A = this chain, B = another copy of it.
């Protein structure tokens, strides 16, 4: 079964432009083209794209996915490499969660500092933000 980019887009749920983007980025290149230069894909390409999509949903970067795909393509490489990459990725995600949690706390404190209906002149939020500034200074 050979399909064109539009159908691949439908099947995969990626946009046409995204697929072209992955082509340019060497993640999924259409190995064959039609006489009129249209990209043609087969079953293996569909699976590869779904693999990419799944990895993206795990927030892996295109560079990381490229690495994963190349490991997948060369079966001699060590599983450790994959493990290590995932490990690093987990750390990164956890750091981001910690940052955002901290952030959330501050924002909520900020929200408490102003109970509406006053003009900005006396807005507690802006006051707080300004005070934080002079402390930092």
Contact = CB atoms under 8 A, between A and B. Distances in A.
Interface of A: 46-47, 50-51, 53-55, 58-59, 68, 71-72, 74-83, 86-87, 89-90, 93-94, 96-97, 100-101, 103-104, 106-108, 110-111, 114, 116-126, 129-130, 132-134, 136-137
Identify whether the interface residues of A are mostly helix, strand, loop, or mixed. helix
Given A54-B129, A54-B133, A93-B107, 19 more contacts: A47-B137, A50-B136, A58-B103, A58-B110, A59-B100, A59-B103, A76-B119, A76-B120, A77-B119, A78-B117, A78-B118, A81-B120, A82-B120, A83-B125, A86-B110, A90-B104, A90-B111, A93-B100, A97-B101
A13 to B, nearest CB: 9
User: Could you say how many copies of this chain the assembly holds?
Assistant: 2
B47 A120 contact: no
Contact of A119 (B46, B75, B100, B137): B75
